[in-house]
Amino acid sequence: MVEDGSPDFGPARYGDSFADVYDEWYDDVSDAEATATFVDRFGPSQRLLELGVGTGRLSTPLANRGHWVTGIDASLAMLDRWNGVAEPLVSMAVGADMAVLPFADGLFDTVLVATNTLFNVNQPGGQANCLAECHRVLRLGGRLIVEAMVPAPPDPHLDRLVTTRSLTVDTAVLTATVRDAANQEITGQHIEISEAGIRMRPWKIRYSTPAQLDEMAEIAGFRLGDRFADWDETPYTDDDSNAVSVFVAV
Ligand SMILES: C[S@@+](CC[C@H](N)C(=O)[O-])C[C@H]1O[C@@H](n2cnc3c(N)ncnc32)[C@H](O)[C@@H]1O
């Protein structure tokens, strides 16, 4: 809770909720090697910044391919689980909020923000600030790569959902979500039920459509270079539920 009694959905909240299970639950959320191959197309030995580096799931294969990776994350609990590769290929900024980047101008060739992480910036205007910061820390011609879901059209029947994430003899994990379409927010709980009791893992995202993302990026000083449906460069169509967007700093 924060001082006014409302739930704390600050920058560290998501990571602190999921750190102990992130690698187990989300190891296969996307293909990390395919992500690294996608980034490789922009050249060898890139100075790369990953926002929301988490446990290093993506940064580790990127560093292994010879990129100079810097990762930031607001959650110390996530970074504590980090299984990174040898210094100096990867360095981390602890406790940093990706809406305010603690780096000098023009330092990076590439900024990567994957796995819906941009939508974790859930304060109004926060994502626009984040994109402006990405532009500031990129060199001219550098690339911002954003992987995020494409929100489904609002549907009152789907605004409140409970689904089963996993079910074993010992443990059930349910996912409960409430979508506030007017504010483009989804608040959720992963509810883990076992003999040990009930463990709640709350989270909140603010989603943007691809058109809104493009508009924020353009205001920040980017032009859209490419958009794909996945890391394998499948061409993007309006029916896709995921988008990998490549913005070029101009
Ligand atoms: C969905 S996880 C993605 C982790 C990793 N990039 C991956 O793909 O596996 C999102 C990460 O972003 C971090 N995060 C969320 N909001 C943040 C913020 N405002 N500033 C910095 N990190 C944030 C969380 O702590 C978490 O580690």
Sheet holding 172-180, edge to edge: 160-167, 172-180, 185-194, 197-206
Domain boundaries, the chain: 13-151+208-249, 156-205
Ligand 1 contact, 36 CB (< 6 A):
no
Do 13-151+208-249 and 156-205 have matching folds? no
Which of 8, 13, 14 maximizes ligand 1 atoms within 8 Å of its Cβ, making it the mutation to test the pocket? 14
Work out the percent of the chain whose per-residue pLDDT is above 90: 76
In this predicted structure, the answer to whether residue 166 has a pLDDT above a threshold of 60 is yes
Ligand 1 contact, 57 CB (< 6 A):
yes
**CATH superfamily of the domain spanning 13-151+208-249:** Vaccinia Virus protein VP39 (3.40.50.150)
Ligand 1 contact, 78 CB (< 6 A):
yes
- What b/e sequence results for 201-240 when a residue is b if at least 16 CB atoms lie within 10 Å of its CB, and e otherwise? bbbbbbbbebeebbebbeebbbeeeebbbbbeeeebeeeb
pLDDT band at 156 (very low <50, low <70, confident <90, very high): confident
Return the CATH number of 156-205, one of 1.20.1260.10, 1.10.1040.10, 2.20.25.570, 3.40.50.720: 2.20.25.570
Measure 117 CA to ligand 1 centroid, in angstroms: 5
Ligand 1 contact, 121 CB (< 6 A):
yes
- Average pLDDT of the chain to the nearest whole number: 91
Q: Atom 13, ligand 1: which residue's CA is nearest? A: 52
pLDDT in tens, 42-94: 999 999 999 999 989 999 899 999 999 999 999 988 888 876 544 545 666 66
pLDDT in tens, 7-45: 677 898 889 889 999 988 998 899 999 999 999 999 999
pLDDT in tens, 199-246: 999 999 999 999 999 999 999 999 999 999 999 999 999 999 999 999
Measure 245 CA to ligand 1 centroid, in angstroms: 18
Amino acid 137: pLDDT: 97
Ligand 1 contact, 151 CB (< 6 A):
no
Structure tokens, 133: 């910061």
Instruction: State which ligand 1 atom lies nearest to the alpha carbon of 97.
Output: 20
